[in-house]
Amino acid sequence: MSCPVLNNCPNPIGNIAHLGPTINNTSSTVLTLVSVITYLKWSSVCVVFDNATEHEAIDLQKSLSTIGIFAVLYRMEEVTSSKIDALSLNEPNSDPDRLNFTVLCRLSSCQSFLEKPFDFGRKHVWRNSLLYFSSWLVGIFDTGNLTILENNSSCAFDNIAIIKYPTIMLKSQQQQQAVKAAAHDCEWFPIQTLMWHKKGRGLLQIGFVHLNGSLIKIKDIFPNARFGYNQRKLLISTLPWPPFVILDNKTKQYSGITIELLKELSYSLNFTYEIKPPPDGKWGVGSDNNTWNGMIGQLQRREIDMIAAPLGIQSHRETVMDFTHPYYYEFSAILMKKPNPNDTRWATLLDPFSPKVLMYIGISLPVVSLFLVAFEKYNPFYGYVQNRMQTRGLHHFSDSFWYMYGALLTQGGEHIARSSAGRTLLSFWWIFCIIMVATYSGNFVAFLTVSKTKLPFTNLEGLVAQSSYKWGTAGATIYETIFKNSELEERKELWRGIITFNATDPSVLSSDPEVHVTKVLKGEYAYVADKTFMDLAMTNNCDLAIATSDILPVQYAIGLPNNSSFVQMFSDENKCCKWLRRSGRAQRRAPIQYMGTKPNIEDFFSSNSTDLPMN
């Protein structure tokens, strides 16, 4: 009997890429499958079979066991969504995100199995990852045309390789002699893979396998694995936060540094995206039962695939989501309005000297005046002068004091000392006065040239200790979570103040930073949040000032669902991390230069110089 499906037997050209293992007492069909499995270096495999291929499945399991590959058998009707979930726990493989399947079936069974309504939606994070990370080697025993699989839009798995065998090669006592005859006619079988195209799937021949297990590989067996998401559409959530995410209210288009990073990732990982902001407009804060709102709530409920925003990494958030490696290192600060210089303009004449210096000068003036009076009044040099006490001179305290005071103004006085002791004292006093006047004049010019604004407070301790200013922070963000759960006393006091102010003024917890900037400009209000946004606000308004001390560091990262298999994929060295290593501890003013221009992601990250170790 001839082999009906192999009337035109292939004559492959190429070098042998792999020699199959030597296994006794096994069929040539199983040997070809074992050869491909060993070439792929699978350490475990799930063998799925239908009623017609049960003998081949049992034979395959035994053959794999003899060479140390773990194999478990499942009938097609047993493979359900819950069974697939259980596989992640039963697989001995060290990487449970990558499952390997070998399917043995007739063409009709294969088609119905791949169309089976497995729930691989975004609500099932691990199961959804199998669309990308599972590998399927399908052995089809049929005479039908495989192009029927190209038209199967329900076949969502990326990595499917197919070897088609003639039906006559199914193991049965009646067909043994026919199989031997057919084997002499056709010894090479093509290996095909289902590729993704714009209009669906398409079969691509990637190699050949011989009945003795020899393998000729023309291309990768699973080439789709190199193309990321294979143009799948992801739902992305974000919120405006200049300069990282900027929303044009007219065109409703997003831009900014984080959006540029998203575009680079979509290009590198081969996916499209649709932005779906949170309906409540919040970033996300958890309740007592760990239910979150905002963008994090969207991710927790699996309504979206990813958060692309300047989202801070925080331990409470990590209970419901995963983060990639941080792409930006930020600090928080306190934004306030500069004090009105007219309120202290009267003190400008006193600013060149500190209060301590002014106090020392004020003390030295009467003390030195007393010394001069003593030198002039009791000096034997004036012993010959009659009725001297009835005349004016430096031997009177009033005349001595006014002379010393005049010297401070570089004017001197009417009376002068005639004795050597008095003149010596005055010489040293004049030297002191000249130095003080020169120092004062220099500092006074500097103060007039560059104004020196004294802020009412410079840190959290100073903010919570005063009673003139109210304060607030971006509500439903990482700051609300941190301040609410902090054990540090100053942060506890800060949060108690916010709760008090929120009772009469809910805007102190507004998620919109522009609302807080408006309140700051009205006066007697401080805003605690990201320093980069404050730097940006200061470039647009010179009345704003930032406290000198940083409050807490924040790391921005991309947000993914909890226990996501794609964290490493997004943080891969050849994708995102090549920018991360260049970014290092970012210069915090760097993003400001991109306002008003089209950001370039590599220029932005290359402007940050310090390298950080990558975990």
Taking each continuous run of H as one helix and of E as one strand, the counts in the chain are 20, 19
CA distances from 492 to 284, 331, 486 (A): 20, 19, 6
Q: Binding residue per annotation — 581?
A: no
Residue 376: closest CA among 400, 398, 353, 410: 400
**Contact criterion met (CB below 8 Å) for 520 and 544:** yes
Whether residue 243 is preceded by a cis peptide bond, meaning omega within 30 degrees of 0, is yes
Beta carbons of 538 and 546 less than 8 angstroms apart: yes
Residue 268, CA atoms < 13 Å, CB-side half-sphere? 17
- In whole angstroms, what is the distance from residue 396 CA to residue 220 CA? 108
DSSP 292-346: B-HHHHHHHTTS-SEEEEEEEP-TTGGGTEEE-S-SEEEEEEEEEEPPPGGGGGG
Contact between 436 and 361 (Cβ < 8 Å):
yes
Helix axes 531-540, 513-522, angle to 10 degrees: 50
Residue type, 192: Q
- Rounded to the nearest 10 degrees, the angle between the axes of helix 355-377 and helix 420-449 is 160
Task: Say if residue 378 is exposed, middle or buried (CB neighbours under 10 Å; 0-12, 13-18, 19+).
Answer: exposed
β 246-247/254-255 pair status: antiparallel
Beta-carbon count within 10 A of 50 CB: 20
Per DSSP bridges, beta strands 470-473 and 525-530 are parallel
> Who contacts 533 (Cβ-Cβ below 8 Å, separation ≥6)?
241, 242, 243, 513
Q: For the residues of 382-436, what is the DSSP string, one character each?
A: GTT-TTGGGS-STTSHHHHHHHHHHHHTT---S----SHHHHHHHHHHHHHHHHH
Q: Is 530 annotated as a binding residue?
A: yes
Residue that is written with structure tokens 């007039």 in the block: 448
Q: What is the b/e burial string over 22-43, where b = at least 16 CB atoms within 10 angstroms of the residue's CB?
A: ebeebbbbbbbbbbbbbbeebe
**Structure tokens belonging to residue 100:** 């390997």
* 246-247 and 200-210 strand pairing: unpaired
DSSP class per residue in 107-147: HHHHHHHHTS----STTSHHHHHHHHH-EEEEEEE-SS-TH
Whether the Cβ atoms of residue 509 and residue 502 lie closer than 8 Å to each other: yes
176 contacts: CB under 8 Å, gap ≥ 6: none
Say if residue 142 carries a ligand binding annotation.
Answer: no
Binding residues for L-glutamate: 310, 317, 530
